[in-house]
Chains A and B, each alone.
Chain A
Amino acid sequence: MGTTFIFTVIILSVLGLLLAVVLFLVAKKFKVEEDPLIDVVEATMPGANCGGCGFAGCRAFAEACVKSKSLDGKFCPVGGNAVMQKVAAHLGVTVEEKAPMVAVVRCNGTCANRARTSQYDGSVSCRIMNSLYSGDTACRYGCLGGGDCENACQFGAIKVNSQTLIPEVDEDRCTACGACVRACPKGIIELRNKGPKNRRVYVSCMNQDKGGVARKACSAACIGCRKCEKVCPFGAITVENNLSYIDFNKCKLCRKCVAECPTGAIHAVNFPPKPAAPATPEAAPAAAPAPAAETPKE
């Protein structure tokens, strides 16, 4: 009994030692040379592995940065400028500041604005709905409300409002990784500049039908009337295919277009409430579309 015990201990110890030596030699012989900088860079990454940078994960991004020794065209949307500065410091290169972005839902076809023309009873998934029909309203460009964006978001930053059936973005949580943009089959979600003090002006509509058709389908639709294009002093607005688009790089947030839009399709968010007396005559009708225009969050 005692000897069995002793023999077992001895044999296992000798085996263990032998294998340890073998492992040591093998590890020496087949050592993979890897830049230790990769580990350092990876440690500075947020570790979300969301793929927002276009690489398979944080490790792959770190590898790509270290190997190419340049940060051109590389950006971690989750970590933002702070992380990119650290990465640049580790690599000894400089990096350009990028304006922070945020996901913007360009549809305001809420249940109140858009009448339902049919009722869908199939699987709740935008991808499936989009393959079957144009949507349960007369607007075939608008949000289907299936929540594919919500399911794609790793940060809990986008949620479909159960009352309006339109997704809403939590600006503090949104990292602009672009997962929702890729998930939306209608291409409604866009990454836009977050703007100074988070203030932004954008067209909350994707409808490319002619004015009358669009208006009939949704009371908040862009009807392509070009009033905003004419009033914009900075040339930031273009109207193509009956749909207005505001270039966020040119927009100076004057909000003249917001006041001019007859359907309230242009949204201005995070601005303080306007003073009671309008400063310019153009701003006078601002009171009418105000409820839509001053929604604190889209």
Chain B
Amino acid sequence: MRRTFSMGGVHPCDCKISADSAIEIFPLPQRMYISMSQHLGAPAKPLVQKGDKVKAGQLIGASAGFISANIHSSVSGTVAAVEPYADLAGNPVMHVVVDVEGDEWEESIDRTSDVVREIKLGPAEIIKRIADCGIVGMGGASFPTHVKLSPPPGKKAEFLIINGAECEPYLTSDYRLMVEYPEEVLLGARIMMKALGVTKGYIGIEDNKPAAIEAMRRLTASSYTEIKVVPLKKKYPQGGEKQLIDAVTGRKVPSMGLPIDTGVVVQNVGTSYAVYEAVQKNKPLFEGVMTITGQCLGGQHNFLVRTGTTFDRILEYVGGVPQTAAKIISGGPMMGKAVSNLSAATVKSSSSLLLLTEEQTRRRAEGECIRCGKCVEACPMGLEPYLLNKLSRAGRMEDLEEHKVYDCIECGCCMFTCPAYIPLLDYIRTGKADVMRIMRSRPKK
């Protein structure tokens, strides 16, 4: 019996149609739009001006606070502008625009593909290097990695879990990394374990990725014995931090708590690879694997894309947006964001561009709630989505707080399972945002 998380969850289609497409290097575009806000927390402060020459890997945005991250240029060329530019939702964010000239990297970066196995740096140096290289969580939330690797005083990490669940349908970027660069991923995990001072690690992989499990097992059996591969029974949202901890260890993160409260640190496969490159190759995070997929698309791709490439450039390269495509989503179909502005650029954690047809995305007419309880069954956090929806629509903030709306991870299981097609998450999400604002505005005890 394969392990999985204990509460809720749904089974959307697998749809990993791009799983067999090997990672290709995406050609450099002529212009790059590098956002200064690619992470959770304070936006980085631009360090370059119009007309400056930059190299790939050069620091162009300085971290502005503890919860913030450095931004590096992903290309070499001349800075054309430092100005607000619309992100994928159309809201202006400070960007550094670079006109690409050649492909010159900083000399300190090791550009060879040799695997460097010996970890020379000590724990503090590793965390400093990760912060310097601007590594953020590649699982979607873009939380600065060095913060996660520095547990608050009084909290101690017992082990590290590498998140290879990739439970979202369609996405295959983590899968390709695990199949093509398994040793680099495991080395990244080993580096983070050294930084945390832990001796035990797990890598959780859903059982719909047997090749990845096989590749990891082969390595962990011989040389990476401190890391254990845990095959997981496929269920969405297994890749959620709290769900993954439950699935792998059986520990439950308390309400409003953090993974570290249970002695666990979770890092994504993509983050692990980025940590390896930063610590062993001195390479800042400025490129990542992106899945370009959709049934309406001619070919399925996994590209290694430099940060700051515009979405329309990527779509143009794969043959343009097909006539049948009705919605373009950045991320997976369950938690991704619909792109309303195609001239927006990719960020560090961009994992996918998904093209869906009218038939696949159509919202059906909303019916009445008959309190069948399917959403309650599906909620992986044990909430009552039907009730939260009603309370949010009525603007009853105190009741929303009492019913723990702040625990919602916005996975969308409730909306996916609702037989009346009620847009539960739409209302719960706004209600949660309002409640969080109220909670933050209260004086701290």
Contacts and interface: CB of A to CB of B under 8 A. Distances in A.
A123 B433 contact: no
A128 interface: yes
Interface centre among B89, B92, B429 (most CB of A within 10 A): B89
A198 interface: no
A295 interface: no
Interface string A179-214: 000000000000000000000000000000000000
A153 to B, nearest CB: 15
B27 to A, nearest CB: 27
Interface in A116-144: 117-118, 121-123, 125, 127-128, 131-136, 138, 140
Contacts of B367: none
A131 B361 contact: no
A121 B327 CA distance: 10
Q: Is the interface of B mostly helix, strand, loop or mixed?
A: mixed
B340 A136 contact: yes
Interface residues of A, number: 16
B90 A135 contact: yes
A138 B430 CA distance: 23
B117 to A, nearest CB: 45
Q: Is the interface of A mostly helix, strand, loop or mixed?
A: loop
B91 interface: yes
A122 B363 contact: yes
Interface in B63-97: 86, 89-92
A50 to B, nearest CB: 15
A134 B429 contact: no
A134 B363 contact: no
A133 B423 contact: no
Contact of A140 (B91, B338, B362, B426): B91
B224 interface: no
Nearest to A135: B90
Contact of A123 (B89, B327, B427): B427
Given A131-B433, A132-B89, A133-B90, A121 B361 contact: yes
A247 to B, nearest CB: 28
Given A128-B430, A131-B430, A121 B89 contact: no
Given A117-B340, A121-B361, A121-B363, A134 B426 contact: no
Contacts of A121: 327, 361-363
A44 B89 CA distance: 50
Contacts of A134: 86, 89-91, 340-341
Interface in B286-343: 327, 337-338, 340-341
A128 B434 CA distance: 11
Contact of B423 (A122, A131, A135): A122
Interface in B357-378: 361-363
B340 A118 contact: yes
Contacts of B91: 133-134, 140
A222 to B, nearest CB: 18
Interface centre among B92, B341, B363, B429 (most CB of A within 10 A): B341
A135 B86 CA distance: 12
A107 B429 CA distance: 27
B340 A133 contact: yes
Contacts of A133: 89-91, 338, 340
Nearest to B362: A121
13 contacts: A121-B327, A122-B423, A123-B423, A123-B427, A128-B426, A128-B430, A133-B89, A133-B90, A133-B338, A134-B91, A138-B90, A140-B91, A140-B92
- 3 nearest A-B pairs in the assembled complex, by CB-CB distance: A134-B90, A133-B89, A118-B340
Given A125-B430, A127-B430, A131-B430, 10 more contacts: A121-B362, A125-B427, A128-B430, A131-B433, A132-B89, A132-B338, A133-B90, A133-B340, A134-B86, A140-B90
Interface of A: 117-118, 121-123, 125, 127-128, 131-136, 138, 140
